[in-house]
Amino acid sequence: MQDRDGFIWLDGQWLPWRDAKVHVLTHTLHYGYGCFEGLRAYETADGPAIFRLDEHLRRLEDSAHILAIDLPFDRATLAAACREAVSSNGLSAAYIRPLVFLGAEKLGVDPAGAATHVMVAAWSWGAYLGGKALDEGIRVRVSSYARHHPNVQMCRAKAISTYANSILAVREARRDGYDEALLLDTDGYVAEGSSENIFVVRDGELLQPETTSALDGITRRTVCALAADLGLAVRSKRITRDELYCADEIFLSGTAAEITPVVEVDRRRIGSGRPGALTRRLQQAFFACVRGELPERRGWLTAV
Q: Catalytic residues, which ones?
A: 158
Torsion, CA 199, CA 190, CA 260, CA 60, rounded to 10: 90
Long-range contacts of residues 180-183, Cβ cutoff 8 Å, at least 24 apart: 180/129, 180/138, 180/139, 180/140, 180/141, 180/252, 180/262, 181/140, 181/141, 181/142, 181/143, 181/145, 182/140, 182/141, 182/142, 182/143, 182/244, 182/265, 183/142, 183/143, 183/145, 183/146, 183/147
Exposed, middle or buried, 131 (CB in 10 Å: 0-12/13-18/19+)?
Answer: exposed
Collapsing DSSP states into helix, strand and coil, what is residue 210? coil
User: Parallel, antiparallel, or unpaired: how do β-strands 301-303 and 138-142 relate?
Assistant: unpaired
- Amino acid, res. 277: A
Handedness of CA 288, 294, 297, 303 (dihedral sign): positive
Which of 187, 193, 215, 219 lies closest to 139 in space, CA to CA? 193
- Amino acid, res. 102: L
DSSP bridge partners of 9: 14, 120
Collapsing DSSP states into helix, strand and coil, what is residue 53? helix
Collapsing DSSP states into helix, strand and coil, what is residue 194? coil
Contact partners, residue 223, CB within 8 Å, separation at least 6: 199, 234, 253, 259, 282, 286
> Crossing angle, helix 277-290 and helix 218-229, to 10 degrees?
110
